[in-house]
Structure 1
Amino acid sequence: MNCPRFVKPINVSFTKIPVGIKVPSTLSFSILTLIGLEKIYNAEDELILTIKHCVLFIQRGEYDKAEKLLHVALKQAQLMQHQSGITYVYDVMANLALQMEQLDKAKKLFVAVAQRVMGSGASEDDPRVVHINLKLARVCHLQKDYITAQLGYDWCLEKLNAQVDPSNDYKMLIAMAEDWYGRLFVECNKCEQGYKYMLSAYNRMRDFKDMEVAHIVVQLNDLGTVCEKMDNLDDSIKYISEAIELGKTQPDMEDLGIMYVNLGRAYMKKQLLTMARKNCGHALRLGILNKNSELKKEAELCMQEINS
């Protein structure tokens, strides 16, 4: 039997963005407000206009254009000798490389950002330093270097949990670290530990006022998939059902169909075949309607399993 699927995680966003600029969630967890670059936004200069255009290209998924323009922004920042600007451009480059799964490139860029931030006098406990190390741990995780990734996550959580009165930035970093760490454990077939971390991350994230609904939907679905792996089918059905109901409120929730497949498979495992057929059938209709061949294939496999 094919297992229920995680949907692609959405990176958490906590950076305060100036009015008029909307950064994609996968990039907005940057260190913009932590390094002082927000001061640039008070000046009408070519650098900020270039960065704005980079952000817009990224938002539209035009990554090649964004990458080329980021090199222009870097040259501008270097000519201005604006050290915070240079660091920020490197950080956006690193996040873009991570989003494009150019992992070796992302690692080199994040190391460069870390060196610049620590060179400016930041300590190990500084949220900027922890944030960058967390991203580096994530890169190692995606490269399946699980030992190095685990060391990185442990180090970050130790620094973050040592804060007596953590700010919202620290709390958001804790949530992200727990989420990624939990997913690592699941990938290593340690589902109980993974579930513990992912549930803690979810509970933290839903308390943030500015948390994107789409991210909560993803978290609920993925908690449901972990519960299915542990044969905790009632909780699996509960989480995935909540994800679907919340996902229906989001017009651009592309992964809703696969969540119906996941729910169908949970019902199938529980031997509730009528409900299983209903949900996988709905996923199949969505796949056909949206011309999504991958979803259609997943739903058809689900229906075949039910009928067999």
Structure 2
Amino acid sequence: MKDEPEEAERILHDALRLAYQSNNKAAITYTCDLMANLAFIQGQLENAEKLFKATMSYLLGGGMKQEDNAIIEISLKLASIYAAQNRPEFALAGYEFCISTLEEKIEREKELAEDILSEEEKANTLLLLGMCLDTYARYLLFSKRPSQAQKMYEKALQISEEIQGERHPQTIVLMSDLATALDAQGHVDEACAHVQRALDLARQTQHPELHMVLSNLATILMHRERYAQAREIFLEALKQAKLKGDEVSIQHIREELAELSKKKVDL
């Protein structure tokens, strides 16, 4: 949290050594998982892959089932690693395993009584499915398969609205992302409607990623050749991105404004 990953890694190595010395399997598993997440955040993908696989091996060896949410979460991270490594066959297999396993689990458990499986546990599994759909959708969009991405985003959005409500930050992001998938297919009017709704909710709720929703709307307006309005929205997005200190978004918005300056301003 303090952005001191090297010190965090050193401490985790100490923790893992102590866990092995005391033969505490729960502590070994927990520490391996933390180390895997740290490596993943740092972009050390090969190391993260090995650590996630070790964590999964410990969990499965301890009797955990493949359909357990903890196993699915690790599988999703592994799929994302394969996607980043440009190993599409492994990435696709991972995403599809996560989604199909959770869908079957949800269908099987939906009629279970509260004393067997609580509503909170059912909701958590649904939200995990939503996360898997969202992550897969982003991969599909990056892979130039927007129609497939659209279907995943629609399912993820439905889950988020059902469990978390329309005004939840994640629901708003999914609305905006769905608009991107629609825009990529040339469904500009439909895309504009979705992102405008996302923007209205983002303003009402003071969404932490308001600048990204604004930028998305501006991009879609640019595709509709509404250049003057797009420029106005981009400038607002730039102002918000600066307030958040989001350097990546600032650079992206400036590039879009430069591209926009080449267009004819609409009357």
Matched residue count: 249
**Percent of aligned positions with the same letter in both sequences?**
25
Displacement of 1:224 in angstroms is 1.7
| Structure 2: runs of 5 or more not aligned | 111-121
Is the 8 Å Cα contact of residues 165 and 171 (structure 2) preserved in structure 1? Answer: no
Q: Which moved more, 1:294-303 or 1:216-225?
A: 294-303
**Structure 2 equivalent of residue 129 of structure 1:** 71
Residue of 193, 199, 221 corresponding to 1:244: 199
**Structure 2 equivalent of residue 165 of structure 1:** 109
Cα distance in structure 2, aligned partners of 1:211 and 1:132: 28
Displacement of 1:133 in angstroms is 1.9
Cα distance in structure 2, aligned partners of 1:158 and 1:302: 41
Residue of 175, 180, 197 corresponding to 2:130: 175
Is the 8 Å Cα contact of residues 261 and 302 (structure 1) preserved in structure 2? Answer: no
Confirm or deny that 1:206 pairs with 2:156. Answer: no
Is the 8 Å Cα contact of residues 12 and 31 (structure 2) preserved in structure 1? Answer: yes
**Structure 2 equivalent of residue 51 of structure 1:** none
Residue of 59, 62, 82 corresponding to 1:140: 82
Cα distance in structure 1, aligned partners of 2:124 and 2:244: 38
Q: Deviations over 1:122-154 (max 9, x none)?
A: 233333333322221121122221111111222
Q: Which amino acid aligns with 2:261?
A: Q
Displacement of 1:112 in angstroms is 0.2
| Structure 1: runs of 5 or more not aligned | 1-57
Displacement of 1:109 in angstroms is 0.6
Instruction: Give the secondary structure class of the aligned counterpart of 2:137.
Output: helix
Task: Assess, with a 3 A threshold, how the Cα gap between structure 1 residues 121 and 286 changes in structure 2: closer, same or farther.
Answer: closer
Cα distance in structure 1, aligned partners of 2:197 and 2:5: 33
Confirm or deny that 1:277 pairs with 2:231. Answer: yes
Cα distance in structure 2, aligned partners of 1:231 and 1:106: 38
Confirm or deny that 1:186 pairs with 2:128. Answer: no
Q: Deviations over 1:4-54 (max 9, x none)?
A: xxxxxxxxxxxxxxxxxxxxxxxxxxxxxxxxxxxxxxxxxxxxxxxxxxx
Matches within 5 A, 1:42-191: 58=1, 60-163=2-105, 164-165=108-109, 167-191=122-146
Displacement of 1:65 in angstroms is 2.6
Higher relative contact order (CA 8 A, sep 6+): 1
Cα distance in structure 2, aligned partners of 1:179 and 1:290: 24
Q: Which has the higher helix share?
A: 2
Displacement of 1:209 in angstroms is 4.1
Q: Which moved more, 1:220-229 or 1:189-198?
A: 220-229
Structure-1-length-normalised TM-score? 0.70
Cα distance in structure 2, aligned partners of 1:156 and 1:98: 19
Is the 8 Å Cα contact of residues 231 and 257 (structure 2) preserved in structure 1? Answer: no
Displacement of 1:172 in angstroms is 2.4
Is the 8 Å Cα contact of residues 221 and 240 (structure 1) preserved in structure 2? Answer: yes
Which runs of at least 4 in structure 1 moved beyond 6 Å after TM superposition?
288-291
Displacement of 1:95 in angstroms is 1.6
